[in-house]
Amino acid sequence: MISIRRYLLRTLAIALVVAGGVAFTAAYLITDHELEEILDTQLSLHSRIVAGQLDPDATIDDYARLASRMGLPEHPAQLYRDGNSVPDSSFESGTKLYHEEELKLVLGFWNADGSPRLLGGKWNDAGPFPAPLEEGFRWESYDGHRWRVFSMFDVASDTWISMGLRGSFHDEVVERITWNNLLPMLLLLPLLLWLMSRVIRRGVAPIQALSSQVQGRSAHDLRQINNPVPQELNGLRQSLNDFIARLKATLERERRFTADAAHELRTPLAALRIHLDNAQAGGEQSLQKAYVGVERLQRVVEQLLILARLDQVATTPPATIDLYPIIAELVAELWPLAEERDQHLRLTGLTRLEVCADEVEVGILFRNLLDNALRYTPEGGHVEVELALWEGLPQLTVRDTGPGLPEALLDKVTERFRRASGQGTTGSGLGLSIVSELVQRQSARLTLSNRTPNGLAVSVTWEQNQYQDC
């Protein structure tokens, strides 16, 4: 991918060239139009001035004197009599000082019948210039050139007067004006490109500095980026800092999870090895303890896999589901376990309760709640599952008659590998952690409270605004 600096420089250069081209074209067209108006005005004005100076009674000699003044070096005026050129009409020019551009401006006189009377030198090179047919402006082709001509008829002298300007003069003036205006821009173009390159380089320097700062860090350096940056890069820096914070939290959580998992597995493995050694020596009771240890290890591994899957897999889009059939099926599935322990398990409350959630996650959540309640409820105890509406919000509650939790532990028991001591059971400390994780993923609310005289009530309440996502 092309660099930002090269992209900006190339884009600005192209834009500058295009803008220059448009400006050049516009300047050329505007100059062409305005100059044409000016020259046309000059032609008409000078023709009227000449008409005002004509003597109605002028003789051939008067026109001969005028021809001597109209003539230019190598381009003498031509005098005509009765439509025929006067043989000796190369009157010596009395004009010694003249501008070269005068060669492109010609004056001519015609009789009323269209026969020539006096023509400037440039209108005689290929025979007499075409006589005017009507008053006004016209374009005329003569001797390989285009002429802009203004013609008028002077009634007092009974004479046609035409003044013409060669079209190449008009084009040359337009080109000179346009190029004179464009030349400074062309000369400044390299300087402008250099200045743009410098400005762009300084503009992207903070981005390069920010990139170098991030790239130069080691994999273990998760400090916040505090280097000053332009206002436009504040959002990028904040996004990077947020990402670093999330990465740091994730790594910290993974390190803690790994350490806790290693500690949680090391003890039962060591005990299992002792029990197996004793069982090998003939201790039947040790074999039973080893079997219990295997069950605990299996449970820990299963819940560790669930936690790992929850950390790695993105949440699927929520949908409107009915809790009752999901909860009823899981209650029926765990009923034999409750019967085996002589526990009383029942499902109460509503038979239809819709929530906006993921069905699979709800199943995992409830299974862990119910399994935890059955595990800590003594034989002959009661476990109640209730579906209800609490202040208009859907709520799932699991109540048991177990030992409950110390009040100081109610807010901490959802931490991973956190277990209350002296419970008389082999829990992994992960069940409520899984529940808490799933509740957060669904933006629901988890509430734990001790019951009187004993037992624990765990409620999951789905917020009403969750329905907006379904």
Instruction: State residue 421's pLDDT score.
Output: 47
Judgement on whether residues 157 and 25 belong to the same structural domain of the protein: yes
Q: What whole-number distance in Å separates Cα of residue 304 and Cα of residue 20?
A: 69
Determine, yes or no, domain membership for 181: no
Judgement on whether residues 300 and 324 belong to the same structural domain of the protein: no
CB 388 within 8 A of CB 397: yes
Instruction: State residue 240's pLDDT score.
Output: 84
Indicate the burial class of 417 (C-beta count within 10 angstroms; 0-12, 13-18, 19 or more).
middle
Report residue 113: phi and psi, to 5°: -85, 0
Determine, yes or no, domain membership for 23: yes
Question: Based on the structure, what is the number of domains in the chain?
Answer: 3
Judgement on whether residues 142 and 20 belong to the same structural domain of the protein: yes
Judgement on whether residues 243 and 375 belong to the same structural domain of the protein: no
The residue from 143, 175, 207 where one domain ends is: 175
Determine, yes or no, domain membership for 53: yes
Instruction: State residue 415's pLDDT score.
Output: 65
Judgement on whether residues 326 and 273 belong to the same structural domain of the protein: no
Report residue 421: phi and psi, to 5°: -80, 155
Judgement on whether residues 323 and 255 belong to the same structural domain of the protein: no
Side chain identity at 278, as an amino acid letter? N
Judgement on whether residues 304 and 381 belong to the same structural domain of the protein: no
Q: What is the CATH number of the domain that holds 288?
A: 1.10.287
Strand segments (E) across 335-455: 344-349, 354-357, 382-390, 393-400, 444-450
Q: What is the CATH number of the domain that holds 347?
A: 3.30.565.10
Instruction: State residue 137's pLDDT score.
Output: 95
Running DSSP on this structure, what letter comes out for residue 60?
A: H
Determine, yes or no, domain membership for 139: yes
Judgement on whether residues 235 and 366 belong to the same structural domain of the protein: no
Q: Determine which helix (DSSP H) or strand (DSSP E) holds 305, and give its type and residue range.
A: helix 284-312
The residue from 175, 201, 228 where one domain ends is: 175
- Among candidate residues 315, 297, 231, 221, the one with its CA nearest the CA of residue 261: 297
Largest CA distance in the chain: 157
Alpha carbon distances (Å) from 12 to 23, 163, 195, 340: 16, 49, 11, 81
Determine the structural domain holding residue 243 and report its residue range: 219-313
Instruction: State residue 206's pLDDT score.
Output: 79
Judgement on whether residues 300 and 344 belong to the same structural domain of the protein: no
Q: What whole-number distance in Å separates Cα of residue 189 and Cα of residue 178?
A: 17
Determine, yes or no, domain membership for 293: yes
Judgement on whether residues 171 and 79 belong to the same structural domain of the protein: yes
Determine, yes or no, domain membership for 186: no
The residue from 147, 175, 203 where one domain ends is: 175
Sheet holding 159-166, edge to edge: 84-85, 78-81, 116-119, 105-111, 159-166, 145-154, 136-142
Instruction: State residue 88's pLDDT score.
Output: 58
Determine, yes or no, domain membership for 203: no
Q: What whole-number distance in Å separates Cα of residue 132 and Cα of residue 118?
A: 13
Judgement on whether residues 324 and 286 belong to the same structural domain of the protein: no
Judgement on whether residues 116 and 142 belong to the same structural domain of the protein: yes
Determine, yes or no, domain membership for 210: no
Instruction: State residue 198's pLDDT score.
Output: 84
Q: What whole-number distance in Å separates Cα of residue 119 and Cα of residue 76?
A: 9
Structure tokens at 182: 């464009």
Q: Are strands 382-390 and 344-349 parallel, antiparallel or unpaired?
A: parallel
pLDDT beneath 50, residues of the chain? 89-91, 93-95, 421-428, 467
For 120-156, letters b (16+ CB in 10 Å) and e give bbbbbeeebbbbbeeeeebebebeebebbbbbbebee
Task: Classify the C-alpha dihedral 140-88-94-159 as positive or negative.
Answer: negative
